[in-house]
Amino acid sequence: MLIDLHLHSTFSDGTFTPGELVLQGRKLGISVLALTDHDTIAGLPEFRRACKKQRMACVSGIELSADFPGTLHILGYRIDSDDGGLEKALSRVQTGREDRNSAMIRKLGDLGMDITMEEVQKEAGGDIVGRPHMARILVKKGYVPDGSAAFSRFLQKGAPAYEDRFRLSPSECIDLIRRAGGVAVLAHPGQTSENAGELKKILSDLKKEGLWGLECITPKHRAEQCVEYLTLAAEFSLFPTAGSDFHGMNASSSMGISVADDFLPWARLGVRL
Ligand code: AMP
Ligand code: FE
Ligand code: FE
Ligand code: ZN
């Protein structure tokens, strides 16, 4: 069957609304979908409504960018959207994001670019405003040829307009997700480290903190990486998961990954097939 446990909507940096993601999933014949917007659960009510209407199995999710020298993203599945702790932590992250966005827009202005917070917010349209939206404005205004140039020249870590923002530690992310009744999964581990020894050390630490799964199958990994991560998941007793990290139009990946029906303990994720 086809599943996709890693999707972004307009509530973060995707270009499809939650409802459009569900319709697209339906069209492609996908059986289980999870919405995993960056740092927000605001899209989940619409997502759940759309899934119900289309009679599709859905998992309420989130993706948190943890504080780490490189990239370390933690997915949370079957989280309780009404959890007070989660709400409080997300609002702290959100404030840190707003402060960072202001600082970056100021820096872009100092570098000679005409870009305002209002424009970036309008481009974002949803709950989360971030660097991808700044990138789209820079492209629209002709300062850079494409989004990837926007990141490499201005927005990525170390580039002249970059500014750090407050992030939760990896253990805080895992704890938060677990306290909200969910399970925590390390997203696209290939982005965290391509060094097998280093990744093992990270997995061993995160497992102690309560990590539940490892996103082994994603178009962001080469085939041999998927195999490597499936082996690592078995070694660390983590459930392997699969997701496209679909961001919508103009994005590299498309939705849906083929897996066996018993790929995951669906009941734990609140899914009845
Ligand atoms: P933010 O959370 O606002 O700092 O933005 C992070 C998001 O920007 C990530 O989730 C990616 O979608 C995107 N991103 C980060 N680095 C790059 C890059 N080098 N090229 C394109 N997109 C990127
Ligand atoms: Fe993203
Ligand atoms: Fe991610
Ligand atoms: Zn993602």
Find the helix or strand (DSSP H, E) in which 11 lies: none
Same domain for 178 and 71: yes
β strands within 66-187, DSSP E: 73-77, 183-186
Same domain for 225 and 139: no
Same domain for 94 and 77: no
Q: Which pTM was predicted? A: 0.94
Same domain for 187 and 247: yes
Give the pLDDT score at 200. Answer: 98
**Residue 27 exposed, middle or buried by CB count within 10 Å (0-12, 13-18, 19+):** exposed
Domain that holds residue 118: 89-155
Give the pLDDT score at 252. Answer: 75
Same domain for 48 and 106: no
pLDDT bin (cut points 50, 70, 90) of residue 227 is very high
pLDDT tens-digit readout, 17-47: 999 999 999 999 999 999 999 999 999 999 9
Same domain for 176 and 56: yes
pLDDT tens-digit readout, 192-213: 999 999 999 999 999 999 999 9
Same domain for 179 and 260: yes
- Ligand 2 center–CA 13 separation, angstroms: 5
Both tokens assigned to 109? 């202005």
Coil/strand/helix, residue 142: coil
In angstroms, the CA 48 to CA 52 distance is: 6
Residue 162 located in a structural domain: no
Show the 3-state SS of 183-205.
Answer: EEEECCHHHHCCCHHHHHHHHHH
Same domain for 240 and 182: yes
Residues near ligand 1 (Cβ within 6 A):
13, 38, 65, 130-132, 147-148, 151, 156
One-letter identity of residue 60: S
| CATH (domain of 101) | 1.10.150
Both tokens assigned to 187? 């997203």
Is it the case that residue 250 has pLDDT exceeding 90?
A: no
Atom 11 (ligand 1) nearest CA? 132
User: How many domains, in total, are found in the chain?
Assistant: 2
Find the helix or strand (DSSP H, E) in which 33 lies: strand 30-35
| CATH (domain of 15) | 3.20.20.140
**Residue 23 exposed, middle or buried by CB count within 10 Å (0-12, 13-18, 19+):** middle
Last residue of a domain, one of 107, 123, 155: 155
Same domain for 264 and 184: yes
Last residue of a domain, one of 130, 155, 180: 155
pLDDT bin (cut points 50, 70, 90) of residue 273 is confident
Same domain for 26 and 120: no
- Ligand 2 center–CA 48 separation, angstroms: 21
CA distances from 98 to 64, 86, 141 (A): 16, 18, 22
Coil/strand/helix, residue 145: coil
Same domain for 228 and 98: no
Residue 65 CA, closest ligand 1 atom number: 2
Is it the case that residue 107 has pLDDT exceeding 90?
A: yes
One-letter identity of residue 52: K
Phi then psi for residue 51, to 5 deg, are -65, -40
> What number is the average pLDDT over the span 184-197?
97
> What number is the average pLDDT over the span 159-184?
98
Lowest mean pLDDT among 86-95, 119-128, 173-182, 183-192: 119-128
Residue 163 located in a structural domain: no
Q: Tell me which of 90, 107, 131 to substitute to probe ligand 1's pocket, judged by most ligand atoms within 8 Å of the beta carbon.
A: 131
